[in-house]
Structure 1
Amino acid sequence: MEDRRPVERAQGYLPIADHGIVGDGRTCALVGRDGAVSFMCVPRFDSPPLFASLLDHRRGGALLLAPSRLRASRQRYLPDTAVLVTEMWGPEGAAELTDAFLLEPGARLEDDARAGRGELLRRMRVTQGVVELRCELRPGPGHAVEPSGDGWLLRGPDRVPTAWFHASRPLPGPSGTVVLEAGDELVVSLVWNGVRPAGDPVSRAREHLEATARVWRGWASHVVTDVPRPDLVRRSAITLKLLDHMENGAIIAAATSSLPEYLRGSRNWDYRYAWIRDTAYAVFALRRIGLPAEAKGFLNWALNAASRGTQPLVLYDVDGLPPPEEVEDPYLEGYRRSAPVRWGNAAARQVQHDVYGELLDCAFQWAATGGRLDPGRWEHLAQLAERARTAWSRPDQGIWEVRTPGRPFTYSAAMCQVALDRAARLAWRLGLPGDAEGWRRDARSLARRILEQAWDEKAGALTEHLGGGGLDASLLALPLRRVVPADHPKMAATVRAVAETLGAGGGLLYRYLPGVSPDGVDEPEGAFLLCSFWMADNLVGQGRVDEAAELFERLCSYASPLGLLPEQVDPSDGSFLGNFPQAISHVGLMSTAVVLARVRRGVRPELATHAWFRG
């Protein structure tokens, strides 16, 4: 574990990497190395934030528990759990803060939708010397605090009760200080389930923290260990579980909204929703690291969500419904003054043709796990395959969700090919009605068109959109979805071109050329971690296994001391950018670890990356 470090801020903000995540399968919170809960939404992931100092250190609100004169700190998780420990040092003593969202004793996270108790418990224990401890309860805009019994009630807009706060020792108010000596403890609880805890707070804290840790360890014991970097694979699995809405299997893209892809840039989006695009790729990893229940839950959620309307959306809220309209927050300044802060996501209303392939690929994996495609669901999927026959040639907003006029993106066309291919395979394997032969024929034809129409002879690569033009790292996904073999000469040339032109150093890749964004926004951004994991998978598919393993290790080095990954990394200094922790980055790490492990077990490299290969 990394040694303790001074707590340093820029413009009042901790680095994004200086945060851990705790949660219970309904919502979660970020806890900074300074002892502050800096982002938390209740009662669920996409609710309005109760604390959001991560997006405005003055007005956003936080729940702080730390030495008044904090000098240094470090964080760690209890092994194989989501119980977070922050060790903090003041001028005259040291203290240890343990944070967890409590779970029901004996709960099984793989199949217990009600495992969470709706309570954040924070236990501060002085480990040496004397510590003047500061406790600060400061909710964000629209919330108020008032006395209630032996604690404080937090009320949201329209005076609706949001949560109840209680401390085990008398405090001068919801914010104040108390002096503790070695061995002393202070326990605070934030409860939003309507049931106020009873009994001695200190004894209860010890009992419930131990029970919560046991639940997590029992769940984590199912994660495979015969992969490279099993420590980070297990941490990635736990992180993904923290982003899993356990009631129905939805997995949100990230725990936060509006963390910038570039400081003082405008690409600040709300990622507290579930993307259909992420499902098939996530399920590949989940199934193969020992979590079939989570894989099946996410597949079922995605197929159910998409079947509710005639045209599937790109993303949904955790209920499988359209997210709210996107709005800009008039009060919060944004992380390090990177405005705007946005709630809701307008990409849900975009046209993105890749969704056809994502859903048919999900259906293919659903059938591979024993899931049943009833006549109504299959009829809907077959209609999507029919649309994919022509949609590939029409402009859309693409995988990067550009907010400019669309174009016929190569990735979108490739996923239409996936839709046709998977529909044909499903029809044949399961004896389902439909134009299986026509879908197969059109899939093969479309694969040839992509190789012809996306090829740019001058660039020596497949390019961003049909007709040529612009390198795009999303094309590294084509072999992973079995559109173009990784060792096809044009794909191998594309891999070389992406590495040379989009390489940011240290194994990192930009999605596209800096300053030449397809969305027309003239701003730089960080390197996109998922694309680098895709690069490693391509290297495996080309038989360059040692290079892939080396790249994988370099990418693992970008994880925070807690083993967490962001969406993007600033190549100049390794700092984190974008929403955090990012589910698909952790999926990328797990997937590449699985691919490398498969090759070590003797699976042919060209087959190791395929989501539906059974080797």
Structure 2
Amino acid sequence: MDTLHGSSPFPPIADYGFLSDCEVTALVASSGNIEWLCLPRLDSPSVFGAVLDRGAGRFRLGPADTFVPAARRYLPGTMVLETSWGTPQGWIIVRDVLLMGPWHHENELSHTHRRAPTDYDSDHVLLRTVRCVSGELQITLDCEPVLDYGRKPVNWSYTGRGYHQGLATAEGSDLRLRLTTDMRLGFEAGRAMARTLIREGETRFVALSWTEHEPPYTYDDAYKRLVWTAHHWQHWLARGDIPDHPWRGYLERSALTLKGLTFAPSGALVAAATTSLPETPGGERNWDYRYSWVRDSTFALWGLYTLGFDWEADDFFWFIADVAERDEELQIMYGVDGERDLTERILDHLEGYEGAKPVRIGNGAFDHRQNDVWGAVLDSFYIHIKSRDRLDDRIWPILVRQVEAAMKHWRETDRGIWEVRGEPQHFTSSKVMCWVAMDRGARLAELRGEPELAETWQAVADEIKDDICTNGVNENGIFRQHYGTDALDASLLLIPLVRFLPPDDPRVRATVLAIADDLTVDDLVLRYRTKETDDGLAGEEGTFTICSFWLVSALAEIGELQRARRLCEKLLSFASSLGLYAEEIDPVSGRQLGNFPQAFTHLALINAIIHIIRAENHQRHPGTSPADHSLRRR
């Protein structure tokens, strides 16, 4: 058990490196432990689950007696993680990667992919390589998978490759893990182990594979496949259109992270790679985020289109279109292949990250009524169609059904954008998103050549706006969380971002500044005050990083560019050493909290940085229209 980080055996959440092949994801601690890997999909039960319980499986490769590396980084423009280790005896470099390769299904149909095939595909291989750059060093390999979230220990056996390959199986599981290496393996119960002395100029490799795709059998082959994967990521990133700006690196890492959180077979973007990393240390605010939220689609499509990643934006759009076409009642979230039933269960046998219980799989919010979902879908459709200037015949009936649902339900209560588990309310942000549904619907009806329908829908949009401006604003001209309170809510920052009101409206300015002044801790934004909001849970929570980035965007919108830039600089300083973000930040310690890495946070980062870049460009070129630098290309 690793006890590097004070009294806790668990690494800080921000300590983890993130790997992906766009079908599965992995988290790698700085100690060399792979502590999270779910197979065969990113939402499957874990094989390595030490991030939630130190006995739930791990896979370490590194120096025998040293656990703190000298340095870590991603190879530039890639998802290849490099860790450097130094001791008085020698130095080694370990590289970890989930391999990508050429498309594997030339002679047979893939039964997993619904989106258009690309030139590349997941290899279903986790590769770890070691190179000794000076001196000599004892290295150890310790691979201990425990399947089904730590409930099923494996049995190891040798294959026809003798001491260089092991096969792990578990009773009651169809999953078969192969461990292939140029080191000599030995087995102790559920552990595959190797220990060897590596000298200057020497190399070693180990590959964990879980399908019929072949792993590398030599270091040379392993290195070639690592290089192919690195080049794949660099070529993918080069397709983008990322501004030449001092913050370019944050945009690039966010883009790579979002691509890594995409499930390539369906195009779904998951909220995060993990489940039950706590929002409050030791608390109960622990959720499974390995699903795709419809509300993420608006910011995802805007961010991906803005950075030039149209293919990925299109794939996510069609994933949303698929479920919207299939389901009469649209859910707020889905499984990565469009699954509807995400019934929540508690894994009592797991200790939880630093004792934070319960550990949950599934997400009970999947059947919540959240009235913002129609606005998210319509805004997504609008962004997609505006990027193409055509309205697909398949899309029109889906669009009509969503607009009509918003028109039917906008007067009803819901649980709001934060999925509160208290009593439903008339949340202002939900009403705003219903307005978005009607407003975008009316615009698209005009594009479609349906003027009467456009007029009808616009009339409802105007009715919703009047209702919000009458009931959703307090006596000081500040928008309120819901109609029954004067409490603030960070979701109100969306009001200028979705163009509900112009940024120079006094109510918009008053709301943004009230949130900046009264809903922050050391400048970082809370979702809401837990003492003022019945969210059905106990305890406090940290500041939500997405909300802080929303504040950057909103400040830029209302002309407070200097304040926006200062806050953005502060938020960027809280990135992990690898440029990654969880869901929350403790404003006092800077500690990251919640599931990791968090897609919504990286989407909001892109939004905020682009806002500042466009505002700076407008300052330098005042002759241009502010609309040229606005949030959306409208």
Interval of TM-score (by shorter of Structure 1 and Structure 2): over 0.9
Secondary structure of the corresponding residue to residue 22 of structure 1: strand
Confirm whether residue 484 of structure 1 aligns to residue 480 of structure 2. no
Letter of the 2:482 partner, please give it. H
Which one-letter code corresponds to 2:632 in the other structure?
A: A
**Higher mean displacement: 577-586 or 296-305:** 296-305
* 1:357 Cα deviation from its structure 2 partner: 0.5
SS of alignment partner, residue 72 of structure 1: coil
- Within a 5 Å distance, the mapping from 1:403-552 to structure 2 comes to 403-432=421-450, 435-457=453-475, 461-505=478-522, 507-552=523-568
What is aligned with 1:383? 401
CA distance in 2, matches of 1:518, 1:372: 44
Specify the alignment match of 1:85 in structure 2. 82
Q: Is the 8 A contact 1:516 1:522 kept in 2?
A: no
| TM-score using structure 2 length | 0.91
Q: CA deviation at 1:126?
A: 2.4
1:610 equivalent in structure 2: 631
Distance 1:196 1:295, change over 3 A: closer
1:195-229 CA distance string (max 9 Å, x none): 33354x21112111111111111111123133450
Residue 273 of structure 1, CA deviation: 0.7
User: Deviation of residue 111 (structure 1)?
Assistant: 6.1
Determine the C-alpha separation between the residues in 1 that align with 2:627 and 2:201. 58
Q: Verify the 8 A CA contact 2:295 2:373 in the aligned structure 1.
A: yes
More off after superposition, 464-473 vs 350-359: 464-473
Q: 1:105 offset after TM fit, Å?
A: 5.2
Residues 407, 438 of structure 2: 8 Å contact kept: yes
- Are 1:139 and 2:160 counterparts? no
Tell me the TM-score normalised to structure 1 length. Answer: 0.94
Consecutive unaligned residues in structure 2, runs of 5 or more = 105-114, 619-623
Matched with 1:554 is: 570
- C-alpha separation between the residues in 1 aligned to 2:260 and 2:171? 27
- Aligned-residue sequence identity (percent) comes to 35
Given the alignment, which residue of 123, 126, 136 partners 1:120?
A: 126
Q: 1:343 aligns with which of 361, 373, 378?
A: 361
Query: Is 1:242 matched with 2:260?
Result: yes
For residues 450-476 of structure 1, the C-alpha deviation after alignment (integer angstroms, 9 at most, x for no partner) is 122111226x52111124331101100
Mapped partners of 2:171, 2:520: distance in 1: 47
Residue matched to 1:563: 579
Q: Would you say the 8 A contact 1:106–1:215 is kept in 2?
A: no
**Partner residue, 2:380:** 362
Structure 1: unaligned runs, 5 residues or longer: 1-5
* Contact 1:447-1:484 at 8 Å conserved across structures: no
Maintained 8 Å contact 2:102/2:120? no
SS state of the match for residue 123, structure 1?
A: strand
Matches within 5 A, 1:60-79: 60-73=56-69, 74-79=71-76
Are the counterparts in 2 of residues 121 and 189 from structure 1 also a CA contact under 8 Å? Answer: yes
> 1:34 aligns to what?
31
Equivalences for residues 191-230 of structure 1 within 5 A: 191-197=209-215, 199=217, 201-223=218-240, 224-230=242-248
- Looking at structure 1, the residues matched to 308 and 592 of structure 2 have their Cα atoms a distance apart, in angstroms, of 29
- The code of the aligned residue for 2:552 comes to A
Q: What is residue 3 of structure 1 aligned with on the other side?
A: none
Whether the 8 Å CA contact 1:77–1:562 is kept in 2: the answer is: yes
Deviation (angstroms), 1:482: 1.2
Residue 538 of structure 1, CA deviation: 1.1
Between the aligned partners of 1:97 and 1:472, the Cα distance in structure 2 is 45
Instruction: Tell me by how many angstroms 1:612 deviates.
Output: 3.6
1:374 Cα deviation (Å)? Answer: 4.6
Q: Which runs of 4+ in 1 moved over 4 A?
A: 371-376, 603-607
- Do the aligned residues in 2 keep the contact of 1:454 with 1:466 (CA within 8 Å)? yes
Q: What amino acid is aligned across from residue 60 of structure 1 in structure 2?
A: A
Counterpart position of 2:182: 168
| SS of residue in 2 equivalent to 1:120 | strand
2:603 aligned partner:
587
Indicate conservation of the 8 Å contact 1:76/1:562, yes or no.
Answer: yes
1:156-209 per-residue CA deviation (whole Å, 9 max, x = no partner) reads 55141332111211133312422222333221001112233354x211121111
| Residue identity in the other structure for 1:144 | V
CA-based RMSD: 2.2
Pairing 1:256-275 to 2, within 5 Å after superposition = 256-275=274-293
Deviations 1:462-517 (A, max 9, x none): 11112433110110011111112222111111111111111111x31111114434
- The more displaced of 112-121 and 261-270 is 112-121
Q: 2:320 is matched with which residue?
A: 302
Q: Return the alpha-carbon distance in structure 1 between the equivalents of residues 116 and 610 of structure 2.
A: 21
Q: Distance in 2 between matches of 1:578 and 1:564?
A: 13
Tell me if the contact between 2:32 and 2:67 (Cα under 8 Å) persists in the aligned partners. no
2: CA distance, partners of 1:363 / 1:572: 40
Q: Which residue of 1 aligns with 2:251?
A: 233
Q: Which amino acid aligns with 2:506?
A: P
Measure the CA separation in 1 of the matches of 2:348 and 2:485.
41
The 8 Å contact of residues 323 and 345 in structure 1, kept in 2 or not, is answered as no
**SS in structure 1 opposite 2:555?**
helix
Aligned with 1:186: secondary structure?
A: strand
Where in structure 2 are the equivalents of 1:278-293 lying within 5 Å? 278-293=296-311
Contact 1:50/1:143 (<8 A) preserved? no
Report the 3-state secondary structure (helix = DSSP H, G, I; strand = E; otherwise coil) of the residue aligned with 2:329. coil
Match of 2:344 among 326, 338, 352: 326
Q: Render the CA deviation track for 1:590-609: whole Å, top value 9, x for unaligned.
A: 11122222233336446634
Asked whether the equivalents of residues 416 and 429 of structure 2 are also in contact (C-alpha less than 8 Å), the reply is: yes
Partner secondary structure for residue 115 of structure 1: strand
Q: 1:68, 1:132 within 8 Å by CA — same for their partners in 2? A: yes
Report deviation, 1:261: 0.2
Residue 111 and residue 562 in structure 1: after superposition, are their counterparts in 2 closer, same or farther (change >3 A)? Answer: farther
Could you tell me whether the CA contact under 8 Å between 1:98 and 1:123 is conserved in 2? yes
Comparing 487-496 and 604-613, the one that deviates more: 604-613
Tell me what 1:55 maps to.
Answer: 52
Count of residue correspondences = 603
Matched to 2:468, the amino acid is I
1:217-256 per-position Cα deviation (integer Å, ceiling 9, x unaligned): 1111123133450011001101111111122221111111
Q: 1:578 aligns with which of 594, 597, 605?
A: 594
Q: Give the AA of the match of 1:145.
A: N
- Measured after TM superposition, the shift of residue 404 of structure 1 is 1.9
CA displacement, residues 336-393 of structure 1 (integer Å, 9 cap, x when unaligned): 1101111111111111110010111111122113286455542232122122124222
